[in-house]
């Protein structure tokens, strides 16, 4: 079935990205209805009724979102949607592990997608702080010290069983999608996104037995800061920061709605690992 309505979001501080948005908009507006985000539309001078926040696009009938930028642009816009729309990423960044399409291939790739597409689903982490919901994570949730060179002490529980009483610079809780991001840099394994799991990776732990661990995706993971007077920061996908202190509890489990990525000719996970991480 042909796509009838698409959304476009982009970085607004990069001229190349905005020029790409303009090219996409001009090329396809006669073929499909094109909706743009407010900041994107303002940056390229688009006015009209088809301007709306990304979180409203599903209700407006948008079928896919074209994200122009890097991985951060993708993560930022996914975090705004409770039930994320399928995303096609045009890479205007550097590594771009979540953005499959090169700028020179953008028009052709989008044209192909408009004739019909499939997508893959990636599990996300639902996050709460002291019972209050925070934005879900597509890549990872990172707990780090709020003061450089200060070690944290915290307890981790998995399904109400104590997993670790840990002293470390912090810890990364990652999805399989995020296993190729911060978690990999911290020494964690690469996990195929088809594996329904979550990853716990200590950052510079103070004992040799603290190792990266893979747990079932629907595990309930709880983290509690245990040293008085120490503050830490919870960072979700590098986009959202929250300060936590003694007795605060961060809870993570599998989110109700997954992230969705449009399949392209280079969607294969192992091809990406070979081309982008070697």
- Positions annotated as catalytic residues are 71
CA–CA distances in Å: residue 237 to residues 21, 82, 205: 24, 15, 22
Q: Could you tell me where the DSSP H helices lie in the chain?
A: 15-28, 38-44, 71-79, 106-114, 182-185, 269-277
| Cβ-contact 223, 155 below 8 angstroms | yes
Token match 């800061």: residue? 225
CA–CA distances in Å: residue 210 to residues 124, 180, 227, 231: 24, 20, 19, 22
Strands 87-91 and 119-122: unpaired
Give backbone dihedrals phi and psi of 175, rounded to 5 degrees, phi first.
-80, 170
| Cβ-contact 205, 168 below 8 angstroms | yes
Angle at alpha carbon of residue 145, lines to 143 and 151, rounded to 5°: 115
Q: Is 97 helix (H, G, I), strand (E, B) or coil?
A: coil
Strands (E), the chain: 5-10, 33-36, 64-69, 87-91, 119-122, 125-129, 132-137, 140-145, 152-158, 161-168, 170-174, 197-203, 213-216, 221-225, 232-236, 240-244, 249-254, 259-262
């Amino acid at each position: 079935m042909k796509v009838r309505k698409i959304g476009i979001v982009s970085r607004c501080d990069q001229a190349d990205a905005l020029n790409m948005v303009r090219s996409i908009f001009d090329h396809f507006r006669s073929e499909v209805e094109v909706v743009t985000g407010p900041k994107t539309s303002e940056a390229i001078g688009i006015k009209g009724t088809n301007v709306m926040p990304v979180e409203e696009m599903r209700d407006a009938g948008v079928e896919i979102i074209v994200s122009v930028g890097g991985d951060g642009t993708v993560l930022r816009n996914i975090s705004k949607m409770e039930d994320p729309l399928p995303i096609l990423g045009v890479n205007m960044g550097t590594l771009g592990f979540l953005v499959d399409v090169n700028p020179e291939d953008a028009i052709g790739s989008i044209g192909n997608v408009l004739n019909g597409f499939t997508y893959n689903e990636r599990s996300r982490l639902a996050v709460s702080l002291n019972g209050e919901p925070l934005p879900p994570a597509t890549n990872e949730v990172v707990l780090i010290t709020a003061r450089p060179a200060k070690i944290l002490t915290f307890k981790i529980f998995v399904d109400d069983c104590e997993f670790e009483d840990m002293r470390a610079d912090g810890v990364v809780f990652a999805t399989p999608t995020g296993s190729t991001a911060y978690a990999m840099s911290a020494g964690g394994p690469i996990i195929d996104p088809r594996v329904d799991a979550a990853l716990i990776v200590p950052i510079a732990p103070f004992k040799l037995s603290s190792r990266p661990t893979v747990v079932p995706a629907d595990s309930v993971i709880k983290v509690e800061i245990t040293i008085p007077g120490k503050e830490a920061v919870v960072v979700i996908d590098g986009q959202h920061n929250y300060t936590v202190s003694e007795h605060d509890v961060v809870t993570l489990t599998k989110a109700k709605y997954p992230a969705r990525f449009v399949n392209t000719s280079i969607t294969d996970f192992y091809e990406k690992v070979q081309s982008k991480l070697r």
